[in-house]
Amino acid sequence: MAKSAKNTTKMKKSTPAKKMAAKKTSGSRKKKQTAPAAENGAAAKTPNGAGSASIFQDYDALTEYLTNVSGKSRDVISEYFTNNPDLTQMTGQLPTDPLNVGDAFQEVMKGLATDPGTVMQRQFNLWGDYAKLMATMSRRMAGEDVKPAIEPEKGDRRFSHAAWQENPMLDFVKQSYLIGSKWLEQTVSELDGMDEHEKAKAEFYTKQFVDACAPSNFAMLNPEVIETTIESKGENLFKGFKNLIDDIDRGHGKLAIRQADLDYFKLGENIATTPGKVIYQNDIMQLIQYEPTTEAVAKTPMLIVPPWINKFYILDLQPANSFIKWLVDQGRTVFVISWVNPEPVLKDKTFEDYIREGLFEALSSVSLATGEDKTDVIGYCIGGTMLSMALAYMAKTGDNRINSATFFTAQADFTEAGDLLLFVDDEQLDAIEKQMDAAGGVLEGRAMATTFNMLRSNDLIWSFVIDNYMKGKDPAKFDLLFWNSDATRMPKNVHIFYLREFYQKNRLARKEMVMDGVRLDLGDVDIPIFMQAGETDHIAPHNSVYNTARLFASNGNDKVTYMLAGSGHIAGVVNHPDKKKYHHSVNQALPGSLDEWKAGAERFPGSWWPYWIKWLDSVSDGEVPARMPGAGQLSVIEDAPGSYVNVKA
């Protein structure tokens, strides 16, 4: 981006933006960050950066800047029309409602029509809430100190700026929005007589709608955007527009919102840096063995099976939060599968192929590398779902190569699988199949990333819209968000099988899943099992993980442990003990309900990793001299993190 050589002039101490928040605004400004930036410890910056020059002070720089933006805009538009010669999205040749939202809201309208009494009562409630708001605002304008008619829910950072409370106009707008959105969501949720799936879908998309309509998402109402605009003399709007154009260009005509600085992190240099070697590879995965840091290691090696929906280095971001490095330091010989980012040539691979060519070939390779015939295995998310299916098959076929199995936020019973169940009706799966066919037989990485981001739209979508395009901020140098942006593709057969057979039909939990002619039953598994879940996990809800734990114990396996960690799908797993964050609850029993388990559980502060490693040591003992990659029967192919993980979607 063009910058002048001159320094930015200092703003006067008194500005209209500061008056919006009265005396507390300057204090609140120090806290103004999105949640990710705050977690990363990065200081908030003005759009042009501390100490950098404003483009408005150098007309040559401004001219160059506008020329670059104009040229990029022209290229983006040209590429869009090149990629869409028939403009099929505009002429209706593609599904206009691939998520089948229309049917859900048709059900809502039917529900409203068949229950006019409830509708009228809800309308009276709305009028009453607005009347209360008008009364409190009138009293406030008269100088009274009054309690707001409604306040944001705890943890809602959209209205944290002091001006939302101190400026009467903004306070009125905020409370009006909160009243209207709460009314709309409650009205949909309280409708009777609707199909449960359609109702849940309507509730989900109603939440998406009200989140999108938040006044904080509009530049002229957002006090942080107004302050930034005044302080930068409007430079943020120019930078925001360039960020928008860059993101559309990066998405080849579709908006691909950047959540992190995609140029700062380099795999193997400042992220995914734990030393190791690739010792085996095939069409769908590379197997990495990490170098030991202790003289002696556990006799039984450890294999990690990450999800192929994301890349494995979520467990090896940086040394200070790397689970893989920590596990190596505990004296374990650690192997991890690095899944390929599949091209259309792999479109015919199946879920069973991923079990055989992924898990089973990895187990064989670990044995060749270490000389051991048993392995401890970790399955994360969909990697754990696959591990569950494989364990049931291995139990039936007498394959005893797995000594113990640990599951990170993984489900095999999808009865209570959360909001992702909303995306698996027949119409939506048919639309996904068409989408994958159009892409050559793979699901593009952005498609799944968008779905996951919608589950937390305020944090993972709208906060970045505000920061990137309204404030004109540079993307954060945040390792977790970089990983979240590094999406992967998925082969059609694998992904459709996962959605239909697990999410939609729940065949494994119902003992209806068949592999190689063998009917599978998780109750047949008789090895030590450790199930980790996250309290606020929105992808693998902790009640769903508990149901899975009970499936493993259903035929008398008394070696099943369920542990509940604080936080969610990522932070609940990646929680280094040195951080001293969150908590974890343990209970050796597996009673009939999760509520009973919680009632008998004991809660401890901090990371659950030390508790788990003690459990692992109890089921996987013995020591041998440390093993170096390449010292066994498999030769070194290349350095970790390998080449497969570097393939971008």
For residues 489 and 342, is the Cβ–Cβ distance under 8 A?
A: yes
Task: Please report which residue ranges of 154-234 form alpha helices under DSSP H.
Answer: 163-166, 168-189, 196-212, 223-231
Rounded to an integer, the average pLDDT of 458-481 is: 89
Give CA–CA dist 340/350, Å, rounded.
Answer: 14
Distance CA 562, CA 564 (A): 7
Give yes or no for residue 152 having a pLDDT over 90.
Answer: yes
For residues 473-494, average pLDDT: 91
**pLDDT value for 31:** 37
Same domain (yes/no): 320, 355: yes
Mean pLDDT of 24-34: 37
Q: Is residue 541 one of the residues assigned to a domain? A: yes
Alpha helices (H) in 553-625, listed in sequence order: 594-599, 609-619
The mean pLDDT of the chain is 85
What average pLDDT does this structure show over 566-585? 96
Which tokens hold the place of 488? 């992967």
Residues annotated as catalytic are 381
Residue 15 has pLDDT above 50, yes or no: no
Please give the share of the chain, as a percent, with pLDDT higher than 90.
58
Determine contact, residues 86/93, Cβ cutoff 8 Å.
Answer: yes
| 28-32, 102-106, 138-142, 246-250: segment of lowest average pLDDT | 28-32
364 and 241 share a domain? Answer: no
β pairing state of 518-519 and 514-515: antiparallel
SS3 581: coil
Please check the confidence at residue 147 and state whether its pLDDT lies above 60: yes
Residue 38 has pLDDT above 50, yes or no: no
Residue type, position 28, single letter: S
Q: Which helix (H) or strand (E) holds 537?
A: none
> Burial level of 548, CB count in 10 A (0-12/13-18/19+)?
buried
Task: Taking residues 193-210, report their average pLDDT.
Answer: 82
Residues 288 and 401 in one domain: yes
Are 186 and 129 in the same domain? yes
38 and 136 assigned to the same domain:
yes
Top mean pLDDT of 1-5, 9-13, 134-138, 615-619 is at 615-619
> Tokens 């483009």 sit at which residue?
55
Residue 3 domain-assigned? no
Shared domain for 230 and 287, answered yes or no, is no
- Examine residue 497 and state whether it is found in any structural domain, yes or no: no
3-state secondary structure of 254: coil
State mean pLDDT over 58-73. 59
The CB density around residue 240, as the number of other CB atoms within 10 Å, is 24
Domain count along the chain: 2
Domain boundary among 212, 239, 254: 254
What is the spatial distance between Cα 153 and Cα 177, in angstroms, rounded to a whole number? 13
Choose between 238 and 584: higher pLDDT: 584
Query: Which among 24-28, 220-224, 407-411 has the top mean pLDDT?
Result: 407-411
In a domain, 428, yes or no: no
> 470-479, 515-524, 529-538, 574-583: which has the minimum mean pLDDT?
470-479
Q: 352: domain CATH number? A: 3.40.50.1820
Residue 418 identity: G
**641 preceded by a cis bond (ω within 30 of 0):** yes
Residue 486 lies in a domain: no
Check whether residue 234 and residue 292 sit in a common domain: no
pTM: 0.78
The C-alpha angle with vertex 72 and arms to 70 and 74, in degrees rounded to 5, equals 70
Ordered DSSP codes for 141-165 = HTT-----S--PPTT-GGG-STHHH
Which of 238, 254, 270 is the last residue before a domain boundary? 254
Q: What SS3 state is found at 567?
A: coil
Contact indicator for 442, 489 with CB cutoff of 8 Å: yes
Which residue blocks in 490-605 are alpha helix, DSSP H? Answer: 492-497, 542-552, 594-599
Q: Within a domain: residue 446?
A: no
SS (H, E, C) 283-323: CCEEEEEECCCCCEEECCCEEEECCCCCCHHHHCCCHHHCH
207 and 333 share one domain: no
**96 secondary structure, DSSP code:** S
State pLDDT tens for residues 339-380.
Answer: 999 999 999 999 999 999 999 999 999 999 999 999 999 999
- Paired tokens of 209: 């709608």
Which range among 44-58, 400-414, 450-464, 541-555 shows the weakest confidence by mean pLDDT? 44-58
For residue 258, what pLDDT is reported? 86
pLDDT of residue 29: 33
Do 174 and 226 belong to one domain?
yes
Name 604's bridge partners.
Answer: 584
pLDDT of residue 499: 93
Q: Both 247 and 286 in a single domain?
A: no
Q: Angle 196-212/101-114 helices, nearest 10 degrees?
A: 100
Q: How far is CA 135 from CA 131, 184, 536, in A?
A: 6, 22, 37
Give the pLDDT of residue 206.
87
Per the rule left: phi > 0, alpha: psi between -120 and 50, beta: everything else, 35 is alpha
80-89, 199-208, 468-477, 592-601: which has the minimum mean pLDDT? 80-89
Could you tell me if 622 and 574 lie in one domain?
A: yes
Say whether pLDDT at 88 is over 50: no
Q: What is the mean pLDDT of residues 190-209?
A: 80
| Distance (Å) of CA 308 to CA 52, 217, 380 | 41, 33, 10
Residues 218 and 367 occupy one common structural domain: no
Spell 318-351 as b/e; 16+ CB within 10 A means b. beebbbbbbbbebbbbbbbbbbbbbeeebbebeb
Domain that holds residue 394: 279-418+509-646
Please indicate, yes or no, if residue 444 is contained in any of the structural domains.
Answer: no
Nearest Cα residue to 525 out of 563, 556, 561, 562: 556
Residue 604 lies in a domain: yes
User: Closest Cα to residue 405, out of 416, 413, 395?
Assistant: 395
